[in-house]
């Protein structure tokens, strides 16, 4: 069984190498030429191999006359060589048939032709008959290879289409998680992140903080300068907030002129400093408006922030509610400030 498997693998290897190599050398793929090439690759006839190596090494194309001479010298004039060619063709046909069986139904239309050739090889075969069988086998082989290449191209094309669909789907899914105006995460995506708070607290080694931020008097900006200026202001504030965080810290547009920041990579003792840094950066920023939106208009805004530290085991809604209460306190106490519900621990 092992020997049959080895012979099968060797035949497959010859099939894989023979026709491409003959095409590369511009040797016509005829039954006689294929029989010579098969015998050469099979490495069972040293004289043929030596002569073929000599022809290949000279750096010139092998002519039809030279291939015909090799066939006549080593295959056609000797009954033993005829059997070698017959055996070689039989191995090729069997290998093709096994390959077809492994490939499933894609090559089934070639099975009947190969079965017919295999049956003919079991009978007494003359050189002329063998040539005809080789010709049929070559046609079947070329057809199978062509069909295989077409199938490969079809599969490759389908794979490319599937990859494109997958990329479009991934892009759509990512877009669905983003706020169209600012490019930040939207509220739904941010809430999904908040649902992971218990796992974050367990793996990070410290408890995260949540900031809820709101642009002060934003309605006044819209009413005075119009919604296009308001949109531009939202985008610039979003950029300032995003530039103030690091690593796995996340920022989202929470709704309207409200933003949320989850400080995951900031130790608890640093949350107050980060919140104050965000507030200060926004206050110092002059909103740059496009020329078509305003004439020499210099616009600045401030934000109010409410902060809360995550408590182990609490639901995300509770953390958001506490941060939102502190935001309300910042608004009530004069705006442009950060409010926490408790003192931040030193460690």
SS3 of 162, please?
helix
- In this prediction, residue 25 carries a pLDDT of 83
Complete DSSP assignment for 238-306? HHHHHHT--TT-EEEEEETTEEEEEESSS-GGGHHHHHHHHHHHHHHPEE---TTT-SS--EE--EEEE
Same domain, 142 and 260: no
Options 72, 257, 283, 321, the catalytic residue: 257
pLDDT in tens, 121-154: 666 656 566 666 666 766 766 666 666 666 566 5
pLDDT in tens, 62-89: 888 888 888 887 776 555 545 655 566 5
Provide the mean pLDDT of the chain: 78
Same domain, 15 and 95: yes
SS3 of 340, please?
strand
Q: Identify the domain containing residue 128 by its residue range.
A: 2-156
pLDDT at 164 over 50: yes
- Give the H or E element holding residue 304: strand 303-309
Residue 161, in any domain of the structure: no
Same domain, 117 and 215: no
Same domain, 143 and 278: no
Residue 264, in any domain of the structure: yes
Domain count, the chain: 2
- In this prediction, residue 183 carries a pLDDT of 92
Q: Give the pLDDT band (50/70/90) at residue 289.
A: confident
pLDDT at 347 over 50: no
pLDDT at 344 over 50: no
pLDDT (mean) for 96-124: 63
- Inter-helix orientation angle 79-103/31-42, to 10°: 90
Same domain, 199 and 152: no
Angle, CA 18 vertex, CA 17 and CA 22 arms, to 5°? 115
CA distances from 19 to 36, 104, 145, 188 (A): 12, 23, 10, 59
Distance CA 202, CA 209 (A): 14
pLDDT at 334 over 70: yes
Cβ neighbours for 324, distance < 8 A, ≥ 6 positions apart: 212, 306
Q: Does residue 242 have an active-site annotation?
A: no
- In this prediction, residue 185 carries a pLDDT of 92
- In this prediction, residue 233 carries a pLDDT of 92
Residue 180, in any domain of the structure: no
pLDDT at 36 over 70: yes
Residue 171, in any domain of the structure: no
Considering 38-52, 65-79, 117-131, 250-264, the range whose residues carry the highest mean pLDDT is 250-264
- In this prediction, residue 339 carries a pLDDT of 95
- In this prediction, residue 1 carries a pLDDT of 47
Cβ neighbours for 151, distance < 8 A, ≥ 6 positions apart: 106
User: Can you give the CATH number for the domain in which 324 is found?
Assistant: 3.30.70.270
pLDDT in tens, 218-231: 999 989 888 888 99
pLDDT (mean) for 182-192: 91
Residue 176, in any domain of the structure: no
Angle, CA 197 vertex, CA 195 and CA 198 arms, to 5°? 105
For tokens 């009413």, the residue is 223
Residue 174, in any domain of the structure: no
- In this prediction, residue 215 carries a pLDDT of 96
Q: Give the pLDDT band (50/70/90) at residue 6.
A: low
pLDDT (mean) for 284-288: 85
Residue predicted with more confidence, 161 or 178 = 178
- In this prediction, residue 252 carries a pLDDT of 95
SS3 of 59, please?
coil
- How many CA within 13 A on the CB side of residue 232? 19
Same domain, 250 and 333: yes
């Amino acid at each position: 069984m092992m020997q049959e498997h080895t012979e099968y693998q060797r035949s497959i290897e010859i099939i894989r190498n023979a026709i491409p190599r003959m095409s590369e050398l511009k040797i016509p793929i005829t039954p006689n030429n294929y029989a010579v090439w098969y015998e050469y690759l099979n490495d069972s006839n040293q004289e043929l191999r030596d002569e073929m190596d000599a022809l290949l090494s000279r750096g010139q194309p092998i002519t039809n006359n030279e291939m015909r001479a090799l066939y006549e010298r080593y295959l056609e004039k000797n009954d033993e060589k005829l059997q070698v060619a017959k055996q070689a063709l039989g191995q090729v046909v069997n290998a093709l048939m096994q390959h077809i069986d492994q490939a499933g139904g894609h090559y089934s239309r070639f099975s009947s032709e190969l079965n017919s050739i295999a049956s003919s090889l079991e009978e007494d075969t003359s050189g002329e008959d063998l040539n005809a069988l080789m010709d049929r086998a070559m046609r079947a082989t070329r057809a199978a290879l062509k069909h295989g290449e077409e199938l490969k191209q079809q599969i490759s094309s389908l794979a490319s289409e599937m990859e494109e669909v997958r990329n479009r789907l991934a892009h759509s899914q990512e877009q669905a998680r983003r706020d169209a105006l600012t490019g930040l995460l939207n509220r739904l995506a941010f809430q999904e992140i908040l649902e992971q708070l218990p796992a974050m607290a367990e793996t990070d080694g410290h408890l995260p903080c949540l900031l809820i931020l709101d642009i002060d008097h934003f309605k006044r900006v819209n009413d005075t300068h119009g919604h296009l200026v308001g949109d531009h202001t939202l985008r610039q504030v979003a950029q300032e907030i995003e530039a103030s965080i690091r690593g796995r810290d996340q920022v989202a547009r929470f709704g309207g002129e409200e933003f949320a920041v989850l400080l995951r990579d900031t130790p608890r003792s640093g949350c107050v400093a980060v919140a104050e840094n965000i507030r200060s950066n926004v206050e110092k920023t002059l909103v740059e408006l496009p020329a078509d939106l305003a004439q020499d208009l210099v616009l600045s805004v401030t934000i109010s922030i409410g902060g809360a530290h995550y408590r182990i085991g609490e639901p995300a809604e509770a953390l958001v509610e506490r941060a939102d209460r502190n935001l309300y306190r910042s608004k009530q106490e004069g705006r442009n400030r950060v409010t926490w519900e408790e003192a931040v621990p030193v460690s």
